[in-house]
Every structure is written in structure tokens, then in C-alpha cells.
Amino acid sequence: MIQSVNSIPAFDIKQQYASIEAEVSAAVLEVLASGRYIGGPLVEGFEQQFAAYHQVTNCIACNSGTDALYLALRALEIGMGDEVITTPFTFVATAEVISAVGAKPIFVDIDTTTFNLDLQQIAAAITPQTKAIIPVHLFGQPVDMTALMAIAQSHNLAVIEDCAQSTGASWGGQKVGSIGHIGCFSFYPTKNLGGCGDGGAIITNDPELAVRLRVLKEHGQKNRYYYEEIGVNSRLDALQAAILQIKLRYLDTWNKQRQAIAAYYQQFLSRVSGIIAPQELAGGVGVWNQYTIRISSEGRNGTSATYRDSIRSQLQERGVSSMVYYPHPLHLQPVYQSLGYQPGQLPVAELACQEVLSLPMFPELTHEQQDQVIYTLDKVLSAEC
């Protein structure tokens, strides 16, 4: 029997910092000594590197993934009276920004195996008011962008990719974020490319959108101290840019480690009964920001969520942390009550919220730790049978 060793966290960003501490702390001290904290060559350098990584012509750094999405909608002049199609199974920011610009989020159900937008259901949700689609590459798994772009093009809709959880993922050999009209990224510390604070970026190949995005993120300033529209203040600071320049060089290595960890989980967990392991679409390369299984509750009394939550707490008691992303679908959140969605309307997303469990996933996770996760999960589930 495997002895309960140290408990295993769901993620561990301290360990990653330790692995690059010398480089990062030297860069941070250099920024501090430079007196150049806002803008400047480090931010511009990061923008160039991030654009080159994605093989796009423009990258605009900003304050967060949320701001990136907000600015994208503003740059596309989406606002009052417009509709934007997105998924109800995502972090709230994806839909929040649609509301923030005065437009209406239209939630379309997700696909059972990928947790991403069900592309078959998009066409039926399109109205004359629809202006854009925001696909989310959830948990690092790319959406089928070939099919999505075909739908968008045939209805003349803009596509804003929410790549907050998928930096480095690709579809058909192209990096996500570079396929739609605009790609939005978050550098929140637990994302695949995480800073030591907030940060975000927007990429696009459209030069006019790039100009508008820069104006909007700087208070709507067109020329110095001359304003034609209301903007925001959304900057990536030099400290974050210095750290992200270093971490970008490790991103592919870390993503490969995540892929190896996912493959190892997959090998064992696809045989454990009572759970459904995640599946990848052919054509995409995912980067596993999360490794999310379903705790199948078929044939049990009570709600699925109660059963999943009890599995989760039993894992926790045995030293295995896990997370629930996300416990509630956005269309049923109190904040969206006025949109009039009813329980049962988007059943796949609703069931996912009750069944999902994200297991420990971070590049430094060891085989031994994974063995402990798998063993413990198997033990807890068989005791429940």
C-alpha cells in the first residue's frame, strides 16, 4: 500500500518560481533599479516576443485577460443592442465583458467530451443582432477552429478567442489566438504562462484593430493629451513584462510536461470505473491548464454535485487536493437572471457543473504524486460502489 506522503496540491506556483528564481530575481532587481516601471523597452520587447511566438503581426499588452476581452469587444465596436455568442461553462470574465460593453451574451450549450462550445448549436443562436462569437479554449483544449471560422465567416461574425487557459495550444498547426480576428490572453499566475500578478495580452493580424486597441487601452488617447473616445487604463507593467519574457522561454517545455502528465493520467484513469477521463480532438494540441474528469453519478440518488463533492472531500482527507471548475453555469447565475434562462435549458453545461473535478495539474507534478492521486481516487471510488 502506498503510504500517505505529503499532501498534493491542485497547483503549485512556488515550485515553478524556485526553478527560475535566479533569473527572475535578477531581472526584477534590474527593473527596480532602472526607475522605468511603466511602458518602456521591456514591455515592448515582450509584445514583440509574444507576437513572434504566435506568428502574428501585433501584440498589445494589457492589465488582465478580462481587460483583453473587454478591449477586443470595444475595438470591434460591439455594444448596445448587439449579441455575442459564448459558452456558459467558463470563467465569468468571458460573459462579463459582453455585458460590460452593453451587449447581450447568448449562451450556447457545450459539447460533452470537450467541455467547449457545441459548434452544432451555434447556427440556431444567430440572429440579425449577432456580431461576434467568443469561443473559449477551456482547460487548455482547443476548439475546432476550422469549423468555428467557417460558421463565423458564413454569417459575417467576428471571432474573439478566449485563450486565457490555453497559451501555447494549437489547432491545425496554428497557435490558438492567431486563428480568429482577435486572441485574448491572461497572465494570471496559475495560467500556463503566468506572471507574478495580473497581466494580459491581445494579438491580431489586423493593423486597424491593433491601432484601435492601443488607443482604447490608453484612455482613448489618439495623440498625446487628445481624446476622441472613452477608453480605459490597462497596462502590463515593466516588472511583469520582465518576468514574462523569461517565462515565455520556458512555456513550451512546461506545456510538454503538462502533456506528459495528462498522458500518464489518461493511461490509468481511462480504466477506473465511475469516472470519465477527458478526451482530445484530433487536429488540436492541448496544453492542459486543467486535467478535468467527470465523476459519473449515473444510477445514484441525490444530485450529482453532492456525490462529486463527497468524492472531492474524501480525496482531500487523504491528502489529494482537487478543484471544481466550475460549480455553476453562467446562464443560471443570479447576475444573468434577467436574461431569462431556465434550469434544463443548457443541459450539458449544467450536468458538467455537477460532475467535473479538476485533478492536480502543474508542470512539476511527479509520477509518484500522480500515482498517489490515481491510487487514492480509485480507492475512494471503489469504496463508494
Ligand X SMILES: *Cc1c(COP(=O)(O)O)cnc(C)c1O
Q: Exactly one of 12, 144, 161, 162 binds ligand X (CB under 6 A); which one? A: 162
Q: How far is the CB of 64 from ligand X (least distance, A)?
A: 3
Rounded to an integer, what distance in angstroms lies between the CA atom of residue 146 and that of residue 148?
6
Q: Bridge partners of 223? A: 226
177 makes contact with ligand X (CB under 6 A):
no
Q: How far is the CB of 97 from ligand X (least distance, A)?
A: 8
* Binding segment toward ligand X, per CB under 6 A, in 61-69, 121-129, 307-315, 354-362: 61-69
> Which cell is 277 given?
477521463
Q: Is the peptide bond before 375 cis (omega within 30 degrees of 0)?
A: no
Q: How far is the CB of 67 from ligand X (least distance, A)?
A: 7
- Give the burial class of 64: count Cβ atoms within 10 A of its Cβ; 0-12 exposed, 13-18 middle, 19 or more buried: buried
Which spans in the chain are helix H?
A: 13-19, 21-34, 41-54, 65-75, 93-100, 122-125, 145-154, 207-217, 238-248, 251-269, 304-317, 347-355, 367-384
* C-alpha separations of 72 from 61, 184, 309, 313 in Å: 12, 8, 37, 40
164 makes contact with ligand X (CB under 6 A):
yes
Q: Exactly one of 51, 75, 136, 201 binds ligand X (CB under 6 A); which one? A: 136
350 makes contact with ligand X (CB under 6 A):
no
188 makes contact with ligand X (CB under 6 A):
yes
| Angular region, 179: left φ>0, alpha ψ -120 to 50, beta rest | alpha
Buried b (16+ CB within 10 A) or exposed e, 22-41: ebbeebbeebeeeeeeeeee
* Binding segment toward ligand X, per CB under 6 A, in 160-168, 262-270, 356-364, 368-376: 160-168
Question: Order of strands, edge to edge, in the sheet holding 356-359?
Answer: 275-276, 291-295, 356-359
CB nearer to ligand X: pick between 98 and 351: 98
Q: Exactly one of 66, 86, 304, 369 binds ligand X (CB under 6 A); which one? A: 66
Residues of span 67-106 touching ligand X by CB under 6 A: 90-91, 93-94
Rounded to an integer, what distance in angstroms lies between the CA atom of residue 175 and that of residue 50?
11
CB nearer to ligand X: pick between 164 and 193: 164
Q: How far is the CB of 237 from ligand X (least distance, A)?
A: 14
Residue count at the site for ligand X (CB under 6 A)? Answer: 15
Q: Exactly one of 65, 168, 286, 360 binds ligand X (CB under 6 A); which one? A: 65
Q: Exactly one of 88, 194, 200, 284 binds ligand X (CB under 6 A); which one? A: 200
CB nearer to ligand X: pick between 9 and 189: 189
Residues in touch with ligand X (CB under 6 A): 64-66, 90-91, 93-94, 136, 162, 164-165, 186, 188, 198, 200
